[in-house]
Amino acid sequence: MKKIIKTILIILVLGILCGFYLHYENTTLCISEYEIKSNKIPKSFDGFKIAQISDFHNTDCDKLKNSLVQNLKVQKPGIIVITGDFIDSRRTDIDGAIKFIKRINNIAPVYYVSGNHEARINNYIDLQNGFWQNNVKVLYNQTEIIFKNREKINIVGIDDPTINKPKTDEEKTVKTAIEKASFDKQNFTVLLSHRPELFDIYAQEEIDLAFTGHAHGGQIRIPFLGGVIAPAQGFFPKYSSGVYQKDGSKMIVSRGIGNSFFPFRINNRPELIIATLKTKHA
For 119-141, write each residue's pLDDT tens digit: 999 999 999 999 999 999 999 99
- Using a cut of 0.85, tell me whether the model's pTM lies above it: yes
88-105 average pLDDT score:
95
Is it the case that residue 229 has pLDDT exceeding 60?
yes
Q: Give tens-digit pLDDT for 198-227.
A: 999 999 999 999 999 999 999 999 998 899
The residue type of 243 is V
The whole-number pLDDT of residue 102 equals 97
| Percent of the chain scoring above 90 in pLDDT | 82
DSSP letter, residue 266: B
Q: What is the DSSP letter of 200?
A: H
Q: What is the DSSP track for 126-183?
A: HHHHHHHHTTEEE-SSEEEEEEETTEEEEEEE---TTTT-SS--HHHHHHHHHHHH--
pLDDT at 5 (0 to 100): 75
Spell out a b/e string for 98-134, using b for 16 or more CB atoms within 10 Å of the CB, else e.
Answer: bebbeebbebbbbbbbbbbbbbbbeebeebbebbeee
pLDDT at 54 over 60: yes
Query: What is the pLDDT at residue 2?
Result: 73
207 CA to centre of own chain? 17
pLDDT (0 to 100) of residue 36: 97
Domain 2-279 has CATH 3.60.21.10: yes
pLDDT above 80 for 262: no
The model's pLDDT over 232-255, given as tens digits with 9 standing for 90+, comes to: 999 999 999 999 999 999 999 999
What number is the average pLDDT over the span 89-109? 95
User: What are the backbone angles phi and psi of residue 115, rounded to the nearest 5°?
Assistant: -125, -175
* Residue in 14, 51, 69 with CA at minimum distance from that of residue 275: 51
Contacts of 203 (CB under 8 A, 6+ apart): 246, 247, 248, 249
